[in-house]
Amino acid sequence: MSSTHGHRPLRWVKSTYSGGEGGNCIEWAPEYAAATGEFLVRDSKDLNGPHLALTREGFSGLVEFAKHHG
């Protein structure tokens, strides 16, 4: 999947659970998730690299993991 949704580029947002030092950051595409129900997650250091496509439950599990291990 490219970094576009239809003809519009995806807007990626840095996770609030990412490390404050700038080394371990993930981003997600909230508008894409709202429109499709699929939660895209990527490494902010590799903007053109691969990304994960998660279900709502999978994304929720990732957020819970980050809360307890971040």
CB atoms within 10 A of CB 66: 16
* Closest alpha carbon to 27 in 37, 17, 35, 36: 17
pTM greater than 0.85 (yes/no): no
DSSP secondary structure code for residue 29 in this structure: -
Which pLDDT value is given to residue 1?
43
Pick 24 or 67 by higher pLDDT: 67
Please give the average per-residue pLDDT across 63-68, as a whole number.
Answer: 84
Burial class (CB in 10 A: 0-12, 13-18, 19+), 29: buried
